[in-house]
Amino acid sequence: MTAELIDGKAFALDLRGRIATLAADFTARSGRKAGLAVVLVGADAASQVYVRSKGKATVEAGMASFEHRLPADASETELLDLVRALNHDPLVDGILVQLPLPGHLDEQTVIATISPDKDVDGFHVTNAGRLAVGQPGFVPCTPLGCLMLLKNRLGSLSGLDAVVIGRSNIVGKPMAQLLLAESCTVTIAHSRTRNLADVVRRADIVVAAVGRPEMVKGDWIKPGATVIDVGINRVDGAEPGKTRLVGDVDFAGACDVAGAITPVPGGVGPMTIAVLLRNALVAAFRNAGLELAEGAI
């Protein structure tokens, strides 16, 4: 069997197109652009790249991007004051504080200070709670992107066996909640799970969010299963001094067995920013008291 590729790049592009159309509609109806504020503390190279690409994508979608940079030695008070000011800014619909923060700043305190109604990353406990009890809120971007890819490929997920490998607050746990809400039978596997290969072999849906290059082997996969590889791992390339990106799944091995699989890169990665824009636009409609058709994005 050769697995079908799940093209996250194409799906994300299409989603961003739909977001741009709705963002223009929002501007026409509200008289202002939907606004996303991104806060970067310090000069971490990877974070700078992420913040730049988020800002660019926001503007491309016809939304307003507000970038705030604080020095690496900014105090917690300075950062919390900025977040509170953004909470009260009527032009800002969504707030994202780029993680990780420098060690002297407590991420949970910062996340707890963001208004849950502007928490487009979905990391606030209020939004985690809303997800857990099935109330509308904001869902973390990466797992929501994975769910969109799964539903696009499989339609109804009801009754399917799903295994999520990883239990982080930003990927594994919300992914499991989303799959449960779709009526999957969900297993959350993690670093203490025994006989992981056997657990994965039961799954119609495998979501790997571990951070270990090519850990999930092809012969762990149930024939025909749908595999979503969240992992982004940089490993040595074929040529000396060159690196390449691989996922948490042995792609070549899994392709022989799976029904469909996301590649790395070009699978889950492009979905994350697209869903961030989606969450920011949903926030804008809600904050402005305007209706957005259910399932429009």
One residue of 122, 166, 174, 259 binding ligand NAD per CB under 6 A: 166
One residue of 96, 147, 157, 171 binding ligand NAD per CB under 6 A: 171
One residue of 30, 47, 168, 187 binding ligand NAD per CB under 6 A: 168
Residue reference for tokens 């105090």: 75
Name the closest residue to ligand NAD (Cβ). 168
Please work out, in degrees rounded to the nearest 5, the angle formed at the alpha carbon of residue 274 by the alpha carbons of 122 and 253: 95
* Nearer CB in complex with ligand NAD: 46/133: 46
Separation of alpha carbons 24 and 30, rounded Å: 10
**Contact indicator for 101, 114 with CB cutoff of 8 Å:** no
One residue of 42, 55, 102, 211 binding ligand NAD per CB under 6 A: 211
Sheet (strand 260-261) strand order: 4-5, 260-261, 226-229, 205-208, 161-165, 185-189
Kindly write out the interface string for residues 262-291 of this chain, putting x where it contacts ligand NAD by CB under 6 A and - elsewhere: ------xx--x-------------------
* Nearer CB in complex with ligand NAD: 37/189: 189
Give me the least distance between CB of 7 and ligand NAD, in Å please. Answer: 15
Separation of alpha carbons 8 and 181, rounded Å: 22
* Nearer CB in complex with ligand NAD: 245/292: 245
The alpha carbon of 132 is separated from its chain's Cα centroid by a whole number of angstroms, namely 17
Summarize as ranges the residues that interact with ligand NAD (CB under 6 A): 142, 165-168, 170-172, 189-191, 193, 196, 209-212, 230-233, 268-269, 272
**Residues involved in catalysis:** 54, 98, 121
